């Protein structure tokens, strides 16, 4: 019975990880729009970390850094839940690769700019997610129970985030 419940939770977690990755692509590439034509054409790049043109509205950039970190935290948690055999640096490399693919796609598709700051902050967010997972596993002594609680929480966050965003769009 317990194994069957654990297996169901695993499959739900896999499905919601895929949903979260699709949500991430939608946020980063489509900017919460529904077509590339809504976005406009931007083909730029920035290879200077934390450098912003003009530099006079630093508050906006701090919130962008915060948002980039926050949106990638679940990626780190999901990787820990689903790919236990991959060591920390392998998970960090996967997070970096996902961020690099998204940043590169923005440039190639001309829907945004490739920004090294985004690459750094996205990767940092995923690593924070790995840390959240590790702290959660450490605080809860029963590892099986910890895994279930962490999985339920990250799945719930995904459902609330994606569902909440869908609700907001349906009301507008």
pLDDT of residue 56: 53
- Mean pLDDT, to the nearest integer, of 9-36? 89
Q: What is the chain's percent helix, strand, coil content, to nearest 5?
A: 75, 5, 20
Answer whether 84's CB lies under 8 Å from 151's CB: no
Joined tokens for residue 42 = 């931007």
Of 9, 8, 46, the residue nearest 151 (C-alpha): 9
Report d(CA 125, CA 131) in Å as an integer: 10
Q: Does the pLDDT value for residue 99 go beyond 70?
A: yes
Does the predicted model carry a pTM greater than 0.95? Answer: no
- Mean pLDDT, to the nearest integer, of 104-132? 94
């Amino acid at each position: 019975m317990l194994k069957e419940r654990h297996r169901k939770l695993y499959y739900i977690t896999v499905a919601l990880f895929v949903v979260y990755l699709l949500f991430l692509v939608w946020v980063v590439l489509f900017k919460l729009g529904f077509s590339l034509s809504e976005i406009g054409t931007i083909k730029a790049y920035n290879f200077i970390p934390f450098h912003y043109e003009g530099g006079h509205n630093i508050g906006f950039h701090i919130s962008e850094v915060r948002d980039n970190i926050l949106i990638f935290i679940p990626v780190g948690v999901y990787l820990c839940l689903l790919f236990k055999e991959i060591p920390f640096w392998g998970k960090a490399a996967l997070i970096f690769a996902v961020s690099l693919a998204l940043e590169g796609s923005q440039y190639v598709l001309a829907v945004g700019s490739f920004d090294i700051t985004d690459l750094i902050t996205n990767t940092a967010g995923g690593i924070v997610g790995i840390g959240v997972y590790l702290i959660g596993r450490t605080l809860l002594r029963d590892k099986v129970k910890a895994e279930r609680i962490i999985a339920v929480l990250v799945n719930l966050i995904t459902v609330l985030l994606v569902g909440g965003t869908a609700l907001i769009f349906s009301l507008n």
